[in-house]
Amino acid sequence: MIARLKGIVEAVGAGTAIIDVNGVGYLVHASSRTLSQLGQGEAVALWVETHVREDHIHLYGFLRADEKDWFQLLTTVQGVGAKVALAILSALSGEMLLQAIAADDKAAICRAPGVGPKLAQRMLNELKEKVGTLALGPAAAAKGKAPVGAVQAAKSDAGDAAQDLLRDAASALINLGYTPSEALAAVSRAAQASETALTLEALIRAGLTDLAPTEHRRGA
């Protein structure tokens, strides 16, 4: 089972690239986001997902470990195969997917070729809890089993201050008893609604305000 390839980019085509590893050329399928960053003759290291079928062996390559995690997560949804998952990752970055699922934004998911309204809604329904855990890593894992690569995905975005702020605020809400998806959706909506940058404390307060109706229903 091939998990990682390190070599020279031999060629880049439509949806695929050939990676030369010590004289052996590996055909790797990838999203357009990954392929756009590959240059012929340049050294590259790719995370690889290997799919073995009766009639073929396909390699799917990713420059970032979190993109591979998204690929694995997307293909758990009924109707989302490898081709559709790559199309989604070509149209939407991990951060964009995270925001779309947290905000229940079906139109954003439908931007990916091959994804219609019914499939987009199924993705939103099936991935809401899983995505909350993927984005929040260890904090959400305490609420339930984390999907593959959750901690790595959180670490890979550690340099993004805005994403860190969202994670920290959502983690605080999780500690108050909310589910990962509720917490992430609330702080995402609060951040989008604010015209100015919010501090962590302000984002937590705004998230709690957003969740107030939910809290009221719980007390009923």
Q: What is the mean pLDDT of residues 129-140?
A: 56
DSSP 58-114: EEEEESSHHHHHHHHHHTTSTT--HHHHHHHHHHS-HHHHHHHHHTT-HHHHTTSTT
Between residues 157 and 130, the one the model is more confident about: 130
Could you tell me the residue ranges of all domains in the chain?
4-63, 66-214
Q: Among the CATH numbers 1.10.150.50, 1.10.287.110, 3.30.950.10, 2.40.50.140, which is that of 4-63?
A: 2.40.50.140
Q: What is the pLDDT of residue 211?
A: 83
Q: What is the pLDDT of residue 185?
A: 77
Alpha-carbon dihedral angle through residues 192, 123, 128, 137, given to the nearest 10 degrees: -90
Q: pLDDT band at 144, cuts 50/70/90?
A: very low
Q: What is the mean pLDDT of residues 24-53?
A: 94
Q: What is the pLDDT of residue 126?
A: 87
What CATH superfamily is the domain 66-214?
5' to 3' exonuclease, C-terminal subdomain (1.10.150.20)
Q: What is the pLDDT of residue 209?
A: 87
* Tens digit of each residue's pLDDT (9 = 90 or more) over 152-175: 333 344 335 666 777 788 888 888
Residue 45 has pLDDT above 90, yes or no: yes
Q: What is the mean pLDDT of residues 47-61?
A: 91
Query: What tokens appear for 169 in the block?
Result: 């605020």
Q: What pTM was computed for the model?
A: 0.67
Average confidence score pLDDT of the chain: 80
